[in-house]
Amino acid sequence: MAVITYLEAGRRAVIEEMQRDPSVWALGEDLGRGGVFGQYKGLQEMFGADRIADTPISEACIMGASVGAAMTGTRPIVEMRFSDFALCAVDELVNQAAKARFMFGGQMRVPLVVREPVGMWRSSAAQHSQSLESWYTHIPGLVVVAPATPADNLGLLKSAIRSDDPVVYMEHKNLWPLEGEVPEQEHLVPLGKADVAHEGGDLTIVTWSGMRQACLRVAEQMASKGIGVEVIDLRTLWPWDRDAVFASVEKTGRLLVVHEAVAVSGFGAEIAASVAEALHHRLKAPVRRLGAPRIPIAYAPPMEEQARVSDDSIAAAVGGMMEPAKAM
């Protein structure tokens, strides 16, 4: 095992897949300079400007070129810099890439990976801080991935690059410096398989991306009070691991879904509804979800903090669900 950062794990995944498969290449703005966060540092020198390609400042151009390139036999890694910027290219992704396999009767596939850094980061304000995963889980034909650890960023990105379907790959900006153990040998994490990050028998928390660490801290805090919290990191939002979630809720009888994205119409609602429909007879408390309020994310740190899902808010939700008088 080696200890590396989340950012370096993603960089390693790109290097390994480009070395393994000559059809893999990356394109986006300023990749020759390493990318906005340094996740492509040194790669143009390693692979050349044809495979680490700098593009015009046009997300629609970048995505459109990638869709065409994927349809004609290559595997593009599409760098969008920020998930907010990818909205400029949503027509090419949603109306073309996601639908091509269906519309051509399975004769055409679009094996591309769209890397979209997400989440609140250093007072980045309303246009650089969004988590828009629920937009993409709504679209048939797209795979949606949200890694939360260095090992998963390595293994999931490699699996995403090998996928024959278009993958929206959402990396949380606050996780770039996170360090963790990563296998030094070949490491793949299957798409659609959740990780039981912390075991417990009293309450299930389902989360992903930047909220994993906060939920684990709360699980440890609750363990000191005799409350066993099971934390499931979905890792892949579509397809999501229903079996792992249902098995955990069957055991605990309580479900709290936690995500940084706005709670209204967030992907947590899909999980909550699925569990409520399938396991209503096993629940000891109503399903709850915890997300951001439906407001733009402010630049000012104190106002930004009001939109953030915190350890305290997660702990308060867990505590409330464990009190029988308040639960039903």
258 and 168 part of one domain: no
pLDDT of residue 303: 85
Q: Are residues 17 and 129 in the same domain?
A: yes
Domain boundary among 153, 182, 211: 182
Only one residue has tokens 């993958």, namely 167
Last residue within a domain, chosen from 182, 215, 242? 182
Number of separate domains in the chain: 2
* Per-block mean pLDDT, blocks of 10 residues, the chain (328 long): 97 98 97 94 98 96 97 96 91 96 91 94 74 95 98 98 98 96 97 98 97 97 97 98 98 97 94 95 92 85 87 93 62
Specify whether 269 is located in the same domain as 126.
no
Last residue of a domain, one of 124, 154, 182: 182
Task: For residues 213 and 277, state if they share a domain.
Answer: yes
Question: Is 303 found in the same domain as 253?
Answer: yes
Predicted local distance difference test score (pLDDT) of residue 324: 65
What is the extent of the structural domain holding 106? 2-182
Residues 165 and 301 in one domain: no
Are 168 and 217 within one domain? Answer: no
* One domain for residues 247 and 305: yes
Same domain membership, residue 295 and residue 173? no
Same-domain pairing of 176 and 208: no
**Phi, psi (degrees; rounded to nearest 5) at 211:** -85, -10
What per-residue confidence (pLDDT) applies to 326? 43
Is position 278 within any domain? yes
Contacts of 214-223 with C-beta under 8 Å, sequence gap 24+, read 214/258, 214/309, 214/310, 214/311, 214/314, 215/258, 215/314, 217/311, 218/311, 218/314, 218/315, 218/318, 221/311, 221/315, 222/315, 222/318
Instruction: Measure the CA–CA gap between 139 and 95, rounded to whole angstroms.
Output: 9
Cβ-contact 260, 286 below 8 angstroms: no
> Which residues are catalytic, by number?
128
Whether 164 and 245 share a structural domain? no
CATH code of the domain containing 315:
3.40.50.920
Q: Is residue 190 part of a domain?
A: no
The DSSP string of 137-198 is: HTSTT-EEE---SHHHHHHHHHHHHH-SS-EEEEEEGGGTT-EEEE-SS-----TT--EEEE
